[in-house]
Structure 1
Amino acid sequence: MLISVLQTLAEILAGGTSLTSTEQIDFSHPGNRREQGVGPTLNLYIYDIRESKQYQQAGRQVERNITRHQQPGTVNWAPNWFDVSLLLTAWDRTTLGEHHFLSEALTVLLRHQPLEEEFLVPELRGYGSLPMMLGIQPPLELGGIWSALNVPLRLALYLTISVPLDRQPTITPLVWERIFDLQSTAGKYGGNQVMARRVVIAGSVKSATTNLSLLTAKVTLQGTTKFTESKKEGLFFFENLERGNYVLNINCPGYLPKNVNALVDDSYIFREIFLTPE
């Protein structure tokens, strides 16, 4: 993600300023800049990354294929969005040269605000244009930034770009409906009768420290006699429940017990539950 952001900006700046190539853009700490006299250079330095407040964070979509046998489901996660903040400085033989060089960079970046998808490197495409805030008050205090960098305060541009981080789809045996074949005794010729039971609460139990699935964790519906145990991939499920609010009590040897709320309505509830070791 970070390399893709730097690559996109470098290609835009190299193509719209007096730079002759991306080799004149340095990504190292500003305090490690090249010695003066080697020619004009732009320095792009990432100094802050934090979750974006503009975008809804990760959720999941479950793709299921219902057949006469239980089939794995694919869990597709919506991307997490992060605000990546960068410091853009210009270095040249003279102060006027640096000001001119930085003005060129400001002009070309304003033309690309927001970052349109066609100018993004392939790794960042598929989400439309990416918001780029330019010349705004940075998320960190100015003096604090330069003090932490141990570099004297100098003229700079402050950029913040909202970037998606996409998690890979995972395969897990999630179930929407379980299909049972029942041998029918009715009718002259017999035959098979199919009964479908709707799964309304399902989930997986995992260790909070290792992220590994926990088997034989006991999951009980509080206030009822219904319970089950997590199986392969930590999967558990409850079928054909009445609408309403439920509390899941999860107990597993070696881990602290946990309660999780679940609302049963017309939708399907999936819970990924993490237990903390004792």
Structure 2
Amino acid sequence: MFNDVDETLRQVLLADVPIDRTEVEITFDRPTREWSSRLARPTLNLFLFDVRERLDFRDDTWTVTRNANGQAQRERPPRRIDLSYMVTAWTNEAADEHRILARVLACTYRQGRVDAAYLQGSLANATVPILLRAMPPDHLAKPTDFWGVMDNELHASLTWVATVPLDVFAPVTGPLVVTRELQVGDRLGPDRETFIEVAGVAHQKGDRAAGIGNATVTVLDTSHRATTDSQGRFTFSPIPPGEYTWRVEPPGGRPVERRIKVPSENYDIEVEA
């Protein structure tokens, strides 16, 4: 995934600075002395030197969606990761280096959120925005020590941080809970009453994911009546065990009736589109 971030930043720089590929090369290498000695033309280098979670963006709230097979899919949001890049320009003349860095710095201030047109690879399907921000010089502690480790001369640099999603939690898929039973009375006595809470979906025929919102669902010969939500979901509680006729009246459509036993494995009702 990190390579997708590299390519995304490359596209941002090419379009926003802008950078001519024939004049300046964009690389993502370790800026060692050996590396810089091999450069044959002006180069803008983005070195990834720090990776850490952005804790103020952490969200452990589960979301539940219903897939086309009628199953519930539970997902946790992705972790948000800060990727910190040291940006340096390598040229023969100091004036050219300063000119490149100035234009790149202006770009980092303009680009707070990456436009979808620049997103590469897996980032194109990200469910959260890709954020960018320029950081103050102290984001990199002791630059002289860094350049000593690289065995290279001290070089002017910018710090550019990309906040990207990392999907570390696989979605959990399983059947929806559609029946809940409530028993009232002495747990060991013979006079216990049983009531059932049920949940279902009114959906287009052949497509369980196409829920019909604002439909009226009625259990005939009872007082139970409900209006579906935007995803076609409805609930009834309490219903005594038995067999009932359910009627669905979609907005602007033909009513549908279906015999359903309570309790049952499924309370969904198909409606002709």
- The residue number in structure 2 matching 1:142 is 142
Inter-CA distance 46–107: structure 2 relative to 1 (3 Å threshold): same
- The residue number in structure 1 matching 2:88 is 89
Taking the TM superposition and a 5 Å limit, the aligned residue runs for 1:28-107 are 28-31=29-32, 32-35=34-37, 38-63=40-65, 72-107=71-106
1:41 positional shift: 0.5
- Deviation readout 1:143-167 (Å, 9 max, x if unpaired): 3433444433210110111111134
1:142 positional shift: 3.3
Inter-CA distance 174–104: structure 2 relative to 1 (3 Å threshold): same
SS at match of 2:57: coil
Taking the TM superposition and a 5 Å limit, the aligned residue runs for 1:197-216 are none
Inter-CA distance 140–108: structure 2 relative to 1 (3 Å threshold): closer
Taking the TM superposition and a 5 Å limit, the aligned residue runs for 1:1-278 are 1-15=1-15, 16-20=17-21, 24-31=25-32, 32-35=34-37, 38-63=40-65, 72-121=71-120, 123-125=122-124, 126-127=126-127, 129-143=129-143, 144-167=145-168, 169-173=170-174, 176-178=177-179, 195-196=196-197
User: Bigger radius of gyration, 1 or 2?
Assistant: 2
Distance in 1, matches of 2:128 and 2:22, equals: 27
Report the residue type matching 2:85 in the other structure. L
Gaps of 5+ in 2: 182-193, 200-273
Inter-CA distance 110–140: structure 2 relative to 1 (3 Å threshold): closer
SS at match of 1:83: strand
Distance in 1, matches of 2:12 and 2:64, equals: 38
Distance in 2, matches of 1:156 and 1:97, equals: 14
Distance in 2, matches of 1:119 and 1:137, equals: 27
- The residue number in structure 1 matching 2:212 is none
SS at match of 2:81: strand
Cα pair 1:7 1:121 within 8 Å, conserved: yes
Distance in 2, matches of 1:22 and 1:100, equals: 13
Gaps of 5+ in 1: 181-192, 199-278
Report the residue type matching 2:3 in the other structure. I
Cα pair 1:51 1:82 within 8 Å, conserved: yes
- Deviation readout 1:204-223 (Å, 9 max, x if unpaired): xxxxxxxxxxxxxxxxxxxx
Inter-CA distance 55–159: structure 2 relative to 1 (3 Å threshold): same
Distance in 1, matches of 2:171 and 2:84, equals: 30
Cα pair 2:75 2:172 within 8 Å, conserved: no
Identity of aligned residues (%): 23
Provide TM-score, normalisation by structure 2.
0.55
Distance in 1, matches of 2:127 and 2:172, equals: 23
Provide TM-score, normalisation by structure 1.
0.54
- Deviation readout 1:23-71 (Å, 9 max, x if unpaired): 8111111115343661111111110010103312343223358x9xxx7
Number of corresponding residues: 182
Cα pair 1:82 1:165 within 8 Å, conserved: yes
